[in-house]
């Protein structure tokens, strides 16, 4: 082992506090250090993940107090898998925005990269932590970075989007605290594993109320249907890379939290039905809204929400295959959506209104970017032989195994809608005459690299899905093995 | 229409929340129904005295048992300063041109001048004695920030060095995270105590807890001052 | 304190906390001014903090401080909710500050705080 | 007995202040009412044997939150809803 | 070997695309190499029965060639090579050559992939690759992209997802994606699934083969794609639907007690498809559209054959599959050549190209005759067998319907020939030259192929026979056609040849007669300059007699034409869009509303918590 999970939090925080100092000495460092940190975290994540695959979960004790007392971090196949994706996406987003911001002055650059790094750290913290109140703190870290990054551009709409996000975020944190306190009052502990092991002692009434409060609170962050009004605005108004970070990183963390509560902590059987209902609503409403969008980024945002709905349905199936499919969808979504956001934001770069009609005929002007967008679009709607197909297939297989024919039918019908709006955009890019006189913006070198990496990943997973399936299986198994989670946490000692 | 709907919804939510908490009961903590549950707070209260030699249990929880939360919390404040800066960011920064809430009379100004050192001292006292008596890093930091607030309000041209704030903030933050990492490197875990704990109710007791709390105090003071300063410097267009 | 009165306090304290939260939520959900919404959210926070601290209270308990005057037998109130509230208050302040800065930003662009007019992003 | 009545009075004051804060059209008064809520809250915390929290609430809730609210009101507008709209129309006409 | 061929196609597609960026000639060369080399390898290297396994995501993909798929793959590969040769001159000087080559190669690959798939997953993968590559072809010219392209894609997607649903259900019930397993264990499914799965699969295949209520994409898509591709599209790609339908009909429907009913329904749908599409074809004024509708109609005949499912009907259908690929491929090439040379495909504008493009005319003539089902050529053989099969099966009304369709088919066949080639030469088209040799040769080859198959149908009966044995029909020892009156009464197939020669002699005589005599003594009159009743036509009004060529007939069938399915779909789509527009107003843009939603959701959950969580 080369490190421990706590470094995922400690190192970025140390760096965050250091950056203002180094910035006084060497201005460029405020942009480089976050990248170095994220790269280091990626190395760490990959190392730990391979260690975990062989040796079982790592439970990190903090402040020298073994789990039921102190806070702990859990790096197992499931959380480790998500952390690896997140850190990887964080690094890509950093790389993408590195040159992107070269003309912005020092102060803005410092804040941007700092907030970006903390966004990643907060999300990683949500996934790693094994303590319900600690999760609240990380959710707030992620939230504040998110609000600030959403309002980062000085336009008026970005502030509006950020304010909506903030209102919803505040309500979420209120309910989250309420739920945490109900659990604490009943079980006298805040440790997830401890709570999970004692959950059967809790009065069903409190159980239901606290679970509902958790669903509301985390559902707001995870973009569940009636709670996701903020999401499209925030996605569309945040700077391009941040939108990608939201869909690739932040939402994943929130989904993780919700899933952790459903699967490990609570033992409510109705929770799975709730996930399915909520997931279907999210999916249908989001896709339906996406088809009528005029702005490219909003369309992508709604599509992203829809994908999350699919993830929820898939988790709600409640079988190991379902979890596998859900994780696969999350992985694909984390790869594909950033590609769409990146290439999409270059396609409408010079346009004022960023409407879909601005991409007309971009295929000629910016062939590479357009091609990547098309690749992403083909992949996300699940056309073989690209990555999205395999996740869709595994989802459908999982659903069919549970005899959910109606749900399969509904989801496939909605998929047609999804297909239509993506194909409309692809049509416009390649087969329409250029209407506006705006020129295409050439992606920067870094952006080229980032987009190419994502595209290659899509193709690799598409042609050789086995490359990731081991990790997905391990992750799914580890989520399912509740008793092992509880056992490994509660017997953890200081290493 | 909307009001009625909202009232109705709030009534439902309120009914269920209140019902839940009425059932939990007041003043009966911990409300544990089963003997299988051993609340962690007993362990905390016990270990605070036995192992950490810290008198104030809240302090020991905030700084040691759940010190990780506090690290996150300090980060939240740090982030909100950064966020404020980026949200209210203006290209041209007019230093000294800030909104004045009220024109201070000479009594206020001279009074503030007298009060300021006292407030800062009080704050310092509060966070240094955080492990012994009520109060600690947050409270002390906030008190110091209030002192700066007073000066900022009283003197139109009183300004705080941004650089100085940033340095204090960073150093304090680094101390916090660094002390945590030191515990990690000493063969223990992150934020683990690695100093001698001394005796209960002694000023120099509690191992790393006072160190961290002092760092937190400085950090909170610097950050809150930063928040106030940033908002005060935001001079909106005056209407009417 | 007389223990018979506590029965009423049972309902009074929790009731007040929940009621204050609801009043705050009402402001956040119905009032049209952005500032009023932020005020509402901060009132919700107040109610919530009261609720949490109340949860940790023990009848006749003392503050969780082992000061020299502590006799060692009296029950102490639960310190954990207090620690959590401490965190929550600070975080709440951070969020409120960000919210207010956003209000200032929105005022700068729209010259109104009327939320129904700040709807450029919709559908 | 005294403590009981005191707590009841404080609770009533808190509700009254929050209702006032929500209903008051003048935002400055509303903000001061929230300050009063915090003040009452910090006394309640003290009575509930939470001196640390009381201290924090007193410093943050009463002083800092109120002051940044006041600064914001100073920078934006003092009256709630309708008046802003009119002002907006006027300023647009200018 | 199969894997290698598919990989060669795929790699070749990418290399061609990249090579085309360097220089067009390199792209052309690479394209031809990419098509011809793997195709050659396919002919020489692949044997029926060879099986390859590939593992992906815990699934085993099995690839191998069966006699049935061998038959279809011959169409794909043969048509692919000829159209590739044709496409190079056709695409010269056009935009997006790279994309054309890329998608063309991918389509060929995907079709071969479908045919070699022995499990549903790879079947679906290739099916989708085929769909999107053909979709990109349909919208390649940038005309009507949103309407035509999206329509095609929506229908394809509906079909594909139906198939996807069917296959996951089968997998969950039977535990295998292997086609053979699903067919053999079909009895083990529940009764509901036994009905559901064939219906889903038939929907999928019905979309591709343009079965009646699902056909609306076809005319537009066929006519919108580049003609060099449409030959493949109509000739081979839509046959994939037939391929699937054969599998489903024989292996699944046969096992159902209600099978006969489904068969009848499908057969009737096929009959209506044939009749209605023929009527529509008659009213078209554009060669592309006409052929497109005609393709739909011909698919109707094939569907009837497949649905009836007696050995003779099956034989007829499969025979028609092959010959339709040939003559329709040839005809689309003809239209493509005309488009290339004149720039338009509108009957009302082109006249008398017979002298300008004689070779094109000859291929068009032979193919049209085959299309119309006039005796000596291949179309006749298949249609005759189809009638017989229907009569044997006592489906007299269906025979009448088909016979009507076939007779009406003469009208559009004539319209096609006349529209382009006959009539007076216009000076406007005086400059038109014969198409390049590389375009003419492929279409002539195909036309001659129809000719040969019409004369020696037994050439085809052998492979069809073995294909039918593979899907479970009895071995007929090569005498399947013995059932046909045509062959048994006249003794032997060989007797077809004298008839043919006789007909050919007459035909050649008339052709020569017209050649020498035809233009003598005629006077040039502009066909576009007609004044009637003293009303002077305006310059831009095209008043050739070709406008409303079939007017009297059209008037008769007008009531049928009014009921255009397309319109219902459009109305449905518009309704949906309006509904969507309404739905998205949930997102009001007001942050407060969103907060109220959150509280509403919370209140609802709290109210229903007992129902949810007990």
Supply the pLDDT for residue A200.
83
| C-alpha to C-alpha distance for B130 and E578, rounded to whole angstroms | 64
CB E130 within 8 A of CB E237: yes
Q: What confidence category does residue B238 fall into, taking pLDDT thresholds of 50, 70 and 90?
A: very low
Q: What confidence category does residue B96 fall into, taking pLDDT thresholds of 50, 70 and 90?
A: very low
Q: What confidence category does residue E542 fall into, taking pLDDT thresholds of 50, 70 and 90?
A: low
| Angle at A300 (CA atoms; ends A299, A305), nearest 5 degrees | 100
Tell me the C-alpha to C-alpha distance, in Å, between residue E266 and each of A164, A302, E209: 55, 40, 12
Q: Is the peptide bond before E457 cis (omega within 30 degrees of 0)?
A: no
| C-alpha to C-alpha distance for E538 and E521, rounded to whole angstroms | 30
E131: its two tokens: 């769909």
Q: Please tell me whether residue D4 adopts helix, strand or coil conformation.
A: helix
A72's enclosing H/E stretch is strand A72-75
Q: Please tell me whether residue E343 adopts helix, strand or coil conformation.
A: coil
Q: What confidence category does residue C1 fall into, taking pLDDT thresholds of 50, 70 and 90?
A: very low
Backbone angles phi and psi of E535, in degrees to 5: -85, 125
**Residue E568 sits in the same domain as residue E518:** no
Supply the pLDDT for residue A139.
92
Q: What is the pLDDT of residues E269-301, one digit of tens each?
A: 888 888 888 888 888 888 888 888 888 888 888
B226's enclosing H/E stretch is helix B209-233
pLDDT over 80 at A104, yes or no: no
Q: What is the pLDDT of residues A159-175, one digit of tens each?
A: 888 888 999 999 999 99
Average pLDDT over residues A357-383: 86
pLDDT over 60 at E531, yes or no: no
**Minimum Cα–Cα distance from E595: chain C residue:** C29
Number of domains forming the structure of chain E: 2
E593: closest CA of chain C, how far (Å): 8
Average pLDDT over residues A235-261: 87
Comparing CA positions, the residue from B24, E303, B149, E60 lying closest to residue A203 is B24
Q: Does C109 touch chain E (CB under 8 A)?
A: no
The percent helix, strand, coil of chain A (3-state, each to 5) is 80, 5, 20
Q: How many CB atoms lie within 10 A of CB E364?
A: 29
Task: Tell me the domain boundaries of chain B.
Answer: 2-233
Average pLDDT over residues E336-356: 80
Q: Please tell me whether residue B129 adopts helix, strand or coil conformation.
A: coil
Tell me the C-alpha to C-alpha distance, in Å, between residue B178 and each of B71, B224, D63: 11, 22, 31
Backbone angles phi and psi of E2, in degrees to 5: -60, -45
Tell me the C-alpha to C-alpha distance, in Å, between residue B3 and each of A247, C37, D79: 34, 14, 21
C1: closest CA of chain A, how far (Å): 24
B11: closest CA of chain E, how far (Å): 9
For an interface test with B, give the residue of C1, C62, C83 to mutate (most B CBs within 10 A). Answer: C83
* Sequence-separated (6 or more) residues with CB below 8 Å from residue E257: none
**Structural domain range at position E589:** 564-613
Q: How many CB atoms lie within 10 A of CB E478?
A: 12
Number of domains forming the structure of chain C: 1
- Under DSSP, the state recorded for B92 is S
The answer to whether position E257 is within a domain reads no
Q: What confidence category does residue A232 fall into, taking pLDDT thresholds of 50, 70 and 90?
A: confident
The answer to whether position E82 is within a domain reads no
Average pLDDT over residues E483-504: 60
Considering only residues D5 and A143, tell me which one the structure prediction assigns the higher pLDDT: A143
D2: closest CA of chain B, how far (Å): 18
Q: Do B12 and E606 touch (CB under 8 A)?
A: yes
Q: What confidence category does residue A456 fall into, taking pLDDT thresholds of 50, 70 and 90?
A: very high
Q: Do C123 and A289 touch (CB under 8 A)?
A: yes
Supply the pLDDT for residue B92.
47
Considering only residues E475 and E268, tell me which one the structure prediction assigns the higher pLDDT: E268
Considering only the beta carbons, identify the residue of C62, C89, C111 that sits closest to D49.
C62
Residues on chain C touching D63 (C-beta within 8 angstroms): none
Supply the pLDDT for residue A123.
92
**Residue E598 sits in the same domain as residue E487:** no
Q: Do C37 and E587 touch (CB under 8 A)?
A: no
A46: closest CA of chain E, how far (Å): 22
The answer to whether position E286 is within a domain reads no
Task: Tell me the domain boundaries of chain A.
Answer: 281-463
**Residue E363 sits in the same domain as residue E477:** yes
Supply the pLDDT for residue A122.
92
The answer to whether position E104 is within a domain reads no
Q: Do E172 and A401 touch (CB under 8 A)?
A: yes
Q: Please tell me whether residue E24 adopts helix, strand or coil conformation.
A: helix
CA atoms within 13 A on the CB side of A389: 27
| C-alpha to C-alpha distance for E152 and E130, rounded to whole angstroms | 13
Residues on chain C touching B83 (C-beta within 8 angstroms): 98, 101
pLDDT over 80 at B16, yes or no: yes
CA atoms within 13 A on the CB side of A339: 31
* CATH code, domain carrying C65: 1.10.287.3510
Considering only the beta carbons, identify the residue of C46, C86, C112 that sits closest to D84.
C112
Supply the pLDDT for residue E218.
86
Q: What confidence category does residue E529 fall into, taking pLDDT thresholds of 50, 70 and 90?
A: low
The answer to whether position C104 is within a domain reads yes
Q: Write the DSSP string, E52-121.
A: EEEEETTEEEEEE--HHHHHHHHHHHHHHHHHHHHHHHHHTT-TTHHHHHHHHHHHHHHHHHHHHB-BHH
The answer to whether position C122 is within a domain reads no
pLDDT over 80 at E378, yes or no: no
CB D57 within 8 A of CB C52: no
| C-alpha to C-alpha distance for A375 and A381, rounded to whole angstroms | 10
**Structural domain range at position C72:** 3-117
**Residue E500 sits in the same domain as residue E368:** yes
Q: Mean pLDDT in chain E?
A: 81
Q: Do B142 and D91 touch (CB under 8 A)?
A: no
Q: Write the DSSP string, E383-439.
A: HHHHHHHHHHTT-HHHHHHHHHHHHHHHHHHHHHHHHHTSSPPPGGGTT--PPPHHH
Task: Write b or e for each residue in B160-174: b if 16 or more Cβ atoms lie within 10 A of its Cβ, otherwise e.
Answer: bebeebbebbbbbbb
Average pLDDT over residues E426-449: 82
pLDDT over 60 at D82, yes or no: no
Supply the pLDDT for residue E536.
60
Q: What confidence category does residue A137 fall into, taking pLDDT thresholds of 50, 70 and 90?
A: very high
In this structure, the strands spanning E51-56 and A58-61 are unpaired
**Minimum Cα–Cα distance from B219: chain A residue:** A17
CB A403 within 8 A of CB E168: no
pLDDT over 80 at E114, yes or no: yes
Residues 576-605 in E contacting B (C-alpha not used; CB under 8 Å)? 596, 599-600, 602-603
The pTM of the full predicted model, rounded to 2 decimals, is 0.90
CB E235 within 8 A of CB E326: yes
CA atoms within 13 A on the CB side of A403: 6
Residues 448-477 in A contacting E (C-alpha not used; CB under 8 Å)? 464-466, 469
Q: What is the pLDDT of residues A393-422, one digit of tens each?
A: 889 888 888 888 889 989 988 888 888 888
pLDDT over 70 at A494, yes or no: no
Q: Mean pLDDT in chain A?
A: 86
Supply the pLDDT for residue A313.
92
**Residue E514 sits in the same domain as residue E570:** no
In this structure, the strands spanning E51-56 and A72-75 are unpaired
Helices and strands of chain C, counted as H and E runs: 3, 0
pLDDT over 70 at C7, yes or no: no
């Amino acid at each position: 082992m080369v490190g421990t999970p706590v470094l995922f939090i400690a190192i970025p925080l140390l760096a965050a506090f250091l950056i203002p100092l180094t910035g006084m000495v060497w201005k460029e460092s405020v942009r480089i250090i976050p990248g170095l940190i994220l790269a280091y975290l990626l190395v760490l994540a990959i190392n730990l993940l391979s260690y975990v695959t062989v040796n079982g979960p790592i439970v990190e004790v903090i402040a020298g107090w073994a789990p039921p007392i102190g806070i702990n971090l859990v790096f197992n196949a499931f959380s480790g898998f998500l952390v690896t994706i997140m850190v990887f996406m964080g690094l890509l987003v950093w790389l993408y925005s590195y040159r992107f911001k070269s003309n912005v002055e020092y102060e803005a650059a410092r804040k941007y990269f700092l907030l970006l790094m903390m966004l990643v750290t907060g999300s990683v913290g949500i996934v790693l932590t094994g303590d319900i109140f600690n999760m609240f703190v990380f959710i707030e870290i992620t939230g504040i970075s998110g609000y600030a990054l959403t309002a980062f551009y000085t336009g008026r709409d970005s502030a509006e989007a950020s304010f909506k996000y903030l209102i919803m975020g505040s309500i979420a944190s209120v309910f989250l605290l309420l739920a945490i306190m109900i659990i604490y009052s009943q079980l006298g502990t805040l440790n997830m594993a401890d709570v999970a092991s004692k959950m059967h002692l809790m009065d069903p009434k409190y159980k239901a109320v606290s679970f509902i409060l958790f669903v509301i609170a985390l559902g707001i962050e995870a973009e569940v249907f009636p709670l996701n009004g903020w999401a499209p605005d925030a996605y569309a108004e945040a700077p391009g890379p941040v939108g990608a970070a939201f869909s690739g990183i932040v939402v994943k963390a929130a989904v993780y939290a919700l899933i952790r509560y459903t699967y490990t902590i609570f033992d409510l059987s109705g929770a799975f039905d709730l996930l399915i209902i909520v997931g279907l609503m999210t999916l249908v409403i989001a896709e339906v809204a996406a088809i009528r969008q005029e702005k490219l980024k909003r369309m992508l945002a709604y599509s992203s929400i829809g994908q999350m709905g699919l993830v929820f349905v898939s988790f709600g199936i409640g079988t190991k295959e379902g979890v596998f499919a859900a994780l696969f969808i999350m992985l694909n979504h984390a790869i594909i959506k950033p590609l769409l956001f990146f290439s999409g934001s270059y396609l409408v770069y010079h346009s004022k209104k960023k409407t879909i009609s601005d991409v007309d005929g971009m295929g000629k002007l910016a062939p590479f970017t357009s091609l990547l967008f098309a690749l992403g679009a083909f992949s996300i709607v699940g056309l073989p032989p690209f990555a999205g197909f395999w996740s869709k297939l595994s989802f459908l297989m999982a659903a069919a195994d549970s005899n959910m024919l109606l749900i399969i039918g509904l989801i496939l019908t909605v998929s047609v809608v999804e297909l239509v709006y993506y194909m409309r955009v692809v049509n416009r890019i390649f087969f329409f005459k250029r209407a506006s006189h705006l020129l295409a913006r050439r992606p920067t070198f870094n952006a080229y690299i980032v987009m190419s990496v994502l595209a290659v990943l899509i193709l690799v997973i598409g042609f050789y899905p086995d490359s990731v399936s081991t990790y997905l299986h391990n992750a799914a198994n580890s989520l399912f093995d509740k008793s092992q989670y509880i056992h490994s946490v509660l017997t953890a000692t200081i290493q | 229409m909307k009001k009625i709907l909202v009232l109705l919804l709030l009534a439902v939510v309120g009914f269920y929340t209140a019902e839940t908490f009425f059932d939990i009961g007041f003043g009966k903590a911990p409300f544990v129904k089963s003997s299988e549950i051993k609340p962690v707070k007993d362990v905390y209260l016990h270990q605070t005295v036995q192992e950490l030699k810290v008198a104030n249990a809240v302090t020991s929880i905030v700084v040691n048992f759940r010190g990780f939360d506090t690290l996150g919390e300090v980060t939240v404040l740090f982030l909100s300063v950064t966020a404020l800066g980026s949200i209210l960011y203006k290209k041209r920064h007019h230093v000294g041109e800030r909104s004045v809430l009220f024109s201070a009379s000479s009594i206020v100004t001279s009074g503030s001048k007298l009060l300021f050192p006292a407030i800062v001292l009080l704050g310092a006292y509060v966070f240094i004695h955080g492990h012994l008596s009520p109060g600690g890093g947050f409270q002390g930091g906030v008190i110091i920030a209030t002192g700066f607030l007073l000066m900022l309000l009283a003197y139109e041209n009183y300004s705080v060095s941004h650089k100085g704030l940033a340095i204090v903030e960073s150093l304090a933050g680094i101390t916090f995270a660094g002390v945590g990492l030191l515990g990690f490197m000493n063969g223990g875990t992150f934020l683990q105590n690695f100093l001698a704990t001394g005796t209960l109710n002694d000023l120099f007791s509690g191992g790393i807890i006072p160190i961290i709390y002092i760092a937190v105090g400085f950090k909170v003071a610097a950050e809150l001052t930063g928040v106030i300063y940033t908002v005060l410097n935001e001079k909106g267009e005056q209407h009417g | 304190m007389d223990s018979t009165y506590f029965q009423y306090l049972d309902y009074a304290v929790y009731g007040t906390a929940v009621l204050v939260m609801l009043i705050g939520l009402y402001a956040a959900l119905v009032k049209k001014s952005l500032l009023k919404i932020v005020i509402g959210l901060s009132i919700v926070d107040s109610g919530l903090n009261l609720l949490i601290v109340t949860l940790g209270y023990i009848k006749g308990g003392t503050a969780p401080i082992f000061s020299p005057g502590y006799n060692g037998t009296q029950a102490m109130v639960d310190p954990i909710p207090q620690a959590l509230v401490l965190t929550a208050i600070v975080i709440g302040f951070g969020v409120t500050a960000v919210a207010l800065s956003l209000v200032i930003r929105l005022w700068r662009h729209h010259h109104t705080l009327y939320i129904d007019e700040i709807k450029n992003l919709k559908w | 007995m005294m403590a009981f009545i005191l707590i009841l009075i404080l609770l009533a004051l808190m509700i009254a202040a929050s209702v006032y804060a929500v209903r008051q059209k003048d935002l400055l008064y509303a903000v001061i009412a929230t300050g009063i809520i915090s003040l009452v809250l910090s006394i309640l915390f003290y009575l509930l044997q939470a001196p640390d929290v009381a201290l924090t609430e007193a410093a943050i809730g009463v002083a800092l939150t109120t002051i940044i609210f006041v600064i914001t009101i100073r920078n934006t507008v003092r009256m709630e809803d309708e008046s802003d709209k009119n002002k907006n129309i006027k300023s647009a006409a200018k | 070997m199969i894997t290698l061929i598919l990989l060669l196609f795929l790699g070749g597609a990418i290399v061609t695309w990249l090579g085309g960026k360097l220089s067009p000639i390199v792209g052309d060369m690479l394209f031809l190499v990419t098509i011809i080399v793997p195709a050659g390898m396919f002919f020489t290297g692949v044997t029926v029965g060879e099986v390859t396994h590939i593992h992906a995501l815990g699934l085993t993909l099995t690839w191998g060639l069966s006699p049935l798929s061998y038959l279809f793959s011959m169409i794909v590969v043969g048509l692919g090579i000829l159209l590739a040769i044709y496409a190079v001159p056709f695409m010269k000087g056009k935009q997006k050559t790279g994309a054309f080559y890329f998608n063309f190669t991918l389509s060929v690959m995907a079709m071969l992939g479908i045919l070699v798939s022995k499990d549903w997953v790879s079947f679906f993968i290739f099916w989708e690759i085929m769909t999107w590559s053909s979709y990109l072809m349909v919208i390649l010219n940038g005309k009507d992209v949103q309407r035509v392209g999206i329509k095609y894609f929506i229908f394809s997607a509906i079909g594909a997802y139906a198939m996807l649903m069917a296959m996951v259900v089968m997998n969950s019930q039977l535990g295998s994606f292997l086609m053979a397993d699903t067919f053999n264990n079909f009895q083990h499914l529940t009764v509901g699934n036994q009905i559901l799965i064939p219906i889903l699969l038939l929907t999928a295949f019905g979309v591709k083969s343009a079965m009646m209520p699902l056909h609306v994409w076809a005319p537009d898509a066929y006519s919108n794609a580049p003609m060099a591709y449409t030959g493949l599209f109509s000739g081979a790609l839509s046959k994939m639907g037939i391929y699937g339908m054969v599998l489903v009909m024989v292996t699944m429907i046969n096992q159902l007690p209600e099978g006969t009913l489904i068969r009848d329904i499908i057969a009737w749908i096929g009959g209506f498809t044939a009749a209605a599409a023929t009527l529509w074809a008659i009213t078209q004024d554009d060669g592309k559209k006409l052929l497109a509708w005609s393709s739909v109609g011909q698919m109707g005949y094939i569907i009837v054959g497949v649905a009836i499912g007696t050995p003779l009907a099956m034989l007829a259908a499969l025979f028609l599959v092959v010959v339709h690929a040939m003559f329709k491929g040839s005809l689309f090439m003809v239209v493509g050549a005309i488009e290339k040379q004149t720039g338009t495909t509108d009957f009302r504008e082109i006249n008398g190209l017979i002298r300008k493009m004689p070779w094109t005319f000859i291929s068009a003539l032979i193919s049209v005759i085959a299309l119309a089902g006039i005796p000596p050529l291949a179309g006749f053989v298949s249609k005759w067998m189809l009638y017989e099969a229907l009569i044997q099966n006592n489906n007299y009304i269906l025979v009448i319907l088909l016979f009507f369709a076939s007779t009406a088919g003469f009208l559009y066949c004539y319209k096609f020939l006349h529209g382009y080639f006959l009539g007076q030469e216009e000076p406007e088209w005086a400059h038109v030259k014969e198409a390049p040799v590389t375009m003419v040769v492929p279409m002539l080859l195909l036309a001659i192929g129809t000719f040969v198959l019409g004369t020696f149908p037994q050439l085809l009966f052998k492979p069809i026979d073995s294909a039918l044995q593979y899907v479970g029909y009895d071995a007929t020892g090569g005498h399947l056609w013995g059932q046909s009156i045509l062959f048994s009464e006249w003794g032997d197939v060989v007797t077809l040849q004298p008839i043919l020669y006789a007909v050919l002699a007459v035909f050649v005589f008339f052709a020569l007669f017209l050649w020498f005599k035809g233009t003598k003594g005629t006077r040039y009159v502009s066909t576009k300059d007609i004044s009637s009743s003293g009303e002077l036509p305006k310059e831009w009004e095209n008043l050739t007699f070709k406008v409303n060529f079939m007017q009297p007939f059209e008037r008769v069938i007008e009531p049928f034409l009014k009921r255009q399915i397309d319109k219902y779909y459009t109305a449905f789509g518009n309704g949906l869009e309006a509904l969507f527009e309404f739905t998205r107003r949930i997102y009001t843009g007001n942050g407060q509303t969103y907060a109220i939603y959150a509280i509403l959701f919370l209140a609802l959950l709290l109210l229903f918590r007992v129902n949810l969580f007990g």
